[in-house]
Structure 1
Amino acid sequence: MVTPPGHERAESGPGGLIPGGSIPPGNLPSRARPLAADDPGQVGPYRLEGLLGRGGMGSVYLGRAGAGPLVAIKVVRADHAANPDFLRMFEQEVRLAQRVARFCTAEVLGSGTDRGRPYLITEFIDGPSLLDQVRRGGPLAPGGLERLALAVAHALRAIHRAGTTHRDLTPANVLLSGEGPVVIDFGLALEVDSASHRPREKAGTPAFMAPEQAGGERVGPSADIFAWGGVIVFAATGRPPFGEDRWDDRIHPNGHPQPDLRGVPAPLRSIVADALRLDPRRRPTAVQLSARLEDALQGGRARQDPTTGPPSGSLAGQPVAGLVTMPSPPPTSISSVSSTPPGTWSVAPTRPGPTSDPSPGARSDPSARGGAPTGPGPAGGSRSGRRRRLLPLAVAAGAALAVALTLLVILPGRGGGGEADTRAAAERASRQLAAAALEARDQQPALARQLALAAYRAAPTREAHLSLLAAYLSPGSPTATFTGHEAAIADVAFSPDGKLLATTGTDLTARLWDTTRRGGDVVALATLRGHSDWLGDVAFSPDGTLLATVSADGTTRLWDTTRRGLGVRSVATLVGHVDGVWDLAFSPDGKLLATGGIDGTVRLWDPARRGDDVTPIATFSGHQKVVGEVAFSPDGKLLATGSADGTARLWDLARLVDTDTPRATLLGHRGGVNELAFSPDGKLLATASQDATARLWETSGQGDVEAVTTFTGHEGWAGDVAFSPDGRLLATTSGDGTARLWDTARRGPDVTPLASLTGHTDQVNDVAFSPDGLLLATSGGDGTAYLWDTAGRGGNVVPLATLTGHEGRIDDVLFSRDSTLLATTGADQTARLWDISPARVADHACADPANRLPTTEWSRRVSDVPYPEPCP
């Protein structure tokens, strides 16, 4: 049972309290209705004061504990409470929801169980919903519409960053409080079908559902982006973008319904149109959406589209409840993240502290705040009373208020140079401070931390990102340590969405881990049992619904990852190899699975087949020894295989008749092939061999093919190869304790490396580029993993950061697809997770006031950019 937050504090409710602490029925907040006869009077320690609403998951009540503040209490329906799957997902979603940043959302305060029914406590927000406001007063004025668009986008960004999805974002779930728009009911709209015990992804509001959600498919954050577009269309026009019908009723004869965007002003219209794309892969992420909005709307109200005029019923120039209408301010210089690669570097959302005078008059008068928010930052902010959420920040010169939500760092412009000049100056300052941080990290680590944080807050440049990791990734401090395997971990894989990590071990098990969990000794979500000998490689299918494992027992198994509540079960056992299976890979479209075995054969399987004795659809039997590596080309037309017989082979997947004859045999290695990889464009194949060389091959060749480039110089076996995301670099590892970077455009028999990465004192086992191309990770037999700047050149490049903590060798390093997490596995039977998101690293740094660069130090180093508070 939770301890009610704030119950020790006396706080009068609206209209005062009647004896016993209850609110008189006539004085309930506007959204609350009196309790019905069958409503409970008490839930856990909370006395219920009124009903806020009912929905598919349960009822929401207004309540308080003792003399504490009013809270909203969602009580789950009895039939859901009896479903174990629902309870499991409810608990998981509560944990995720509690991680959501507390701006633009109703804070999740806790949860509990009362008479067998779980309940959730959230902050109570007093104010009408967007649905009620528009129905009563008509569409929002342009200024209010823009503030709504930004606030809800920022809320989605925080929700998605916490690892959850709203799933039911509608005008009814956006409240217009006196302090700005607030999103409620996030992360808890998932229902379970009582018959199948499967999630009912179709749950939601039809008029605002993404098509994939309406079709019953699994949904992710992109469905929330679609719903955001629908909410903004409704706020601008008073109608949903596709009408009120369900999706199956609104499909046009051509199968491609188009949203009605008449009345949505520019520049919002083009952004909304992208959010409402029917293909979820073409919608922006929440980070990209926020950046586009900030870039389009900075400097004041959006331009009115002359072709449409104001929408019918517009409240232009009039206040809207919960949204402050203000005149257009003069241009304000803002350092934006919109010029950085989407999803790569992002400024963490922050909230201004309280002003010295919290009265309404002080908030409306710029002179009352001196043109900027004041008061304590996150470490010292007051928690008494309602937090101020994304309030418009005052600009100096006393002219008007700018719409500058706190995701941006305010950098007042200098003279008439304009925003571009201001941004350029901020980026120069960022790079200068980042360089100073790297120089100071060994001799003055405290100063290095201050400089790195200030550099990132000035502008999220590449250099600032690197300096943050160098300053704050302390050895031995992973974000999470996954324990449970009883023997060494053999392999590791991230799910496509990065929310799951899979590991296999020589203890005959595979395990699934929740990457949103933090702390030491995190236990597995699921343990997969069924193989009778040690497990080797592991891979997720491209859609993340299947996990494949191979074993020395000669079988490959497929596991359904969507049913973790009842335990992940094997849905297929693939048999055919006459000895252990060593490696596997899914084709890019997920329609084929390839395995390589100790028996020297390669086999192709149909992952859609189910059963205990699934046979292969093709067998390639040209290799003479163990096939330790298999890989599909990016277009899925070729399969590459590497063997201990010293050859690599290319197989044409359009010809599965003559399976003993490869399209090409790659000759030249004088030792077994340890690893292979296709270049991103599929035109090259790289191999690493026991003969201490790595080689490049053109995949267009046929017959016996010679390498176009041979990379020599390692003094021990070459163990691993990896291409950079742009294909211009190749990284190799070796038993000589080094990793090397090579230019893939160079040709010839003896190419010298661009860089030698030194630091490991034992063999280098694994290498990986981050998907954004910024970092390279290596692991070693010396028990360390290193992060390297991929731009480093020359001999003996030193690492950017050192990751320690494993006892014994580290085998694998692997980045998540969004480049924000790094996984390592070791001989100590643990997997470890390292958070390398610059935004989260910066947020964590701000928790310690000692990391804030003094203004005097800023002024000494930067002369042309005003000091931005590093932890606003």
Structure 2
Amino acid sequence: MVRGALVPGDPERLGGYVLASRVGEGGQGVVYEAYDEAGRRVAIKVLHSEVASRVTREVTAAGRVASFCTARLIDADVTAERPFIVSEYVDGPSLRRAVEEGGPFAGDALLRLAIATATALTAIHEAGVVHRDFKPDNVLLGPDGPRVIDFGIARTKEMSVTLPAQVAGTPAYLAPEALTDAEVGQPADVFAWGAVVVYAATGSSPFDASSMGAVLHKVLVAEPDLGMLPEPLRALAAAALTKDPAGRPTAAHLLFALLSGGHADTAGRRAELLRAGARAAAALQPPGDMVERNPELGVVAENVYATLAPGEQEVVPDVMLRMVAPGDGGADGIRRTDADELNVADAASVGGVIDKFTRAGLLVREDDGVRPAGVALLRAWPRLVTWLEAEREGLPIHRRLTEAARLWHDHGCKPGDLYQGTPLEQATQWAATGRRHLHLSDLETRFLAAGASAVRRRARVRRLLTATLATLLVITVAAGAFIEVQRRDSAAQRDLAVARTLALRAETLRDREPAAALRLSAAAWEIAPNPAVPEIKGALYGSLAQTVADVFKAPGSSAGVHALSTDGTTLASVAGGTVRVWDVVSGEQRTSFGGVGDGVLRAALSRGGRTLALHDQSGVRLWDVRTGKPVGARFGPPVNPLFDEQFEFDGTGDHLAIMEEGRSRPVWWRVADRTKLVTGGGLSTVAVSPGGRLALASSGGVTHWWNPATGARVPGALPTQVTDHAAFSGDGRVYAVAEDREGQLDAVRIWDMPKGAERLLELRVDGVNIALNDDGTLLAIATADQIAVIGTADGSEVMREHIDGDLNTQPRFSDDGRFVRVLRPGGTVYSLRIPQGQRLLRKGEAAGAVALSADGTTLALERKGTIQMFRTAGGGKLGPPIKVAESAAARVALAFSPDGRVLAVGGALTVGERGELSIALIDTAGGRVTKSFPVLNQRMEWLSALAFSPDGNTLAVSESPVGDFAHGHRPWLELWDLRTGRGRGVDNGGGDSMAFSPDGSRLLTAFLPYPAMVDTRSARVLPWPGRRPYMTGQGPVAFDPGGGIAVVPEGKGVDLWHTAPWTPQDRPIGQPGTEGVEAAAFADGGATLAVSIGNKVMLWDVRTGQPLATIKVPGWDNELAAGDGVLYVAAKDGTLTSHIVDPARAARAVCEQAGGGFSRAEWQRYAPGTPYRDICSGDRDAG
């Protein structure tokens, strides 16, 4: 929606709502942005009277529509003088505008749009409502996905085809029955859905024509061309566009087919379908340049307030409150305030406030005064609401005082116009003790002082009153202690607002100026060290987790040619015949020299920045960077200025790749003797190994290895595919080649040289620049706008980061393997941090089971029937390995007791009878088995999960069954009393994840498709309280330390549930989209929830449900545990990482990582208008 000013005749209020702006107008009425009594933004459609008279029943039904991909109907009054409907406000462009300005949708975006609209129609139809006017204009692309609006209002059946102006844009989405006076029902919406999908994919309705009659004829008889739609959309759109309403699928069947790829009976599964559809749709965002920038009025005001200098912030309450015409509660109005009335502080501060709020559209200059742009600001800005409520009782007194003082001044300051008696006493009393935020103007102060003086001159019988008034006046002028307390509160509010602003600014700078983001995060905590504020806490955690470690741009080096050394440590820029060389890590300039000529078009820099190669029309010239002198004569062909050719040193700097005219691949030259590396058969060299001992040659489908020193062929197996885009690992043992089809990197083949083994990594990225790290375990791929790091063993994604701008060089791994660097046009080098961790297993090994103690201090890994425990602090082994199973393929379950002293192991163990499933309890200190026993039910294949009760006396054992559990059956559960050795069975109670409540009375278990709750005292499954969550993937369960919040799987993510009573929060946490949540753990005393999703750990604020940070970790399939302010993450590949989850400790770590605070000049740049702080020492300088 796009905000426009109210026009004369527009109402200011409707019902309990105040209107702020116009956002649209159509045949049914005008749509406004408005705010309710609580300050929440809504959309109000004021209906034309002829529309309102026929939609009463429809509006009532529409109120029952669930808000899945729809704009929820909030309120309505169609019988009012100005009938209106209130709905949820959706901030985003319409589908029509998005297509017209951003182009048609395709691929995943088109599929998600189809899912979103089918979800909305399913929800609408479930409520018994027919939309009747479903079209691109009624689909808004909001920040949380598409939303359908205006359902249950339109009556397209009653539209007249003789009135084209009334139906323009709509007939192309009408079903045939709507044009033949047949009954218009839900199938008409399905028909419109098919037409809208075609419009989204092509930019045109399938029934577009040059005239209204032609459009209607096409709707009635033409079969649309759907060849542009991919499957399954093509088949679904064809079914939806069937002329016969009875032949069309329902919206629910469309949704099920889109989500599952097949058709099935959806009865009884509508709620699950709607939730799944809404989750899939949430990922669809409008194109970047189409995102509406229409924040709420309160956000706009708060942003302006945060940019003000402290002196300006002090006067904002005076400026704003003087423009309020106090009414009865919500009936407050606005008034124009003259300039002289604002004489409450220095003119510069007042003028600055008015200028900045006016530029933001919140104030309007009018004659010699100023007023709010609308009354909605009085509700929409929480800070102003707070000021207004604090001053409400005294505002009428102040308003009368202002008017009386002006009257006195304008009529020559006559004594008869002064306050006396009760009015003087009330005004002086309020000015002395009743004010909270307002200050008296000079005129108001002089008026009260003159009134008090007049009283002193009157009869002595009024001495008591005089003394009282004089005392109150002294208090007024001196600004008493109560007001000072209020000012301190105001200062705390200001500090919190500044801290929030700095934290948000840190997020915007994290990928462009990571060092500044670190310091801004530390500054936010220093100014307002409040762990309950998610923006501040999230900025700290995000700083410690940020992938972009550094962005280096050489000063004044945007123009010219740039080269990054092959190890990523050195940057060279060439412009105007001068070379400048910088150390990328320290940012210091190493050297500069001239005399290289003005015609340089390509540059390459060898490892460590030792040798610089420059390419111009005369060929290639090498330069010694240390001395600034040329090395040897020119060689090679002239540069081709028309193409961005490959010009690159190999990893050792011994060879240089140069493009030659007429060749599709570069030619490799040996630098030492300026010799081409060409085989006897004339094949082109594709890649040279470090040291030049081996080269790969290929041409016309002929490929072989050869020795560049001797020219002889080298026997050995060859990669099956060879392209220009290839790389050797630093040790020369691994070779990678990209399969490039028209710029699309479809796959990468990894060739293990010693083993002669080839493996294929299927990829789909738009880019062909690749590099291997030193040992060949990681592959970096630089695409047009992002860089990804992939594990070569299995193709798992280790890291992916979006970078604005075309990446024009090969990625570079640092020697220590901690960073990958890439050069952007203009000479900007991005250093990206590769997730690191302690590796507790050898490369290529993986654990079968992983467990962390509750406090995260102890880790157990089971591999091939043997358990090894580790201390997470340092990764040292805890005792010798413990053999628990004979078979290396045995499936084993692990769990630590709450105090970490006992490790429970379950499976086909050597400590039990051969072939029996049993439990063994291991003393973690001594590494010995203290107790073992067989489980009750020996018919199960393996044990899937174990869990201890909080007191450590009960062990829950879930057993995975043999056979198919697709019909609602659940695993068998056993509850073992470890003191008595007795076990109790619970049918259908088990799960792949289990957690006891802190009081031990409940056990939550998760197993597809529903979680379950077990009463541990009676050993029975309890009915789920309220709406039962529906799982589409395995998910974890957990309780917070206090037991008031539980993590419950929902879809492929998790929801937080309050446990007293059991009710879900308003919004889910950790919904991951296509990847499922694997593990969850509470940290920071239960204030933070960590969830593991693939190779990411997401941190969420439990109280508000806000995401805090995303941590990239090196392993997958992770377990989580938190203790003493540290989150531990252990993966099945034996990788262990630890992360701070305590805000105070995080602030200290951020300061250490940042290497200090801002200089004064930097502070003014990043935090203008706030007192300078030496943020990483705790000192505050007010000057």
Q: What's the TM-score once normalised by structure 1's chain length?
A: 0.34
Greater RCO, 1 or 2 (C-alpha within 8 Å, sep 6+): 1
Structure with the larger helix share: 2
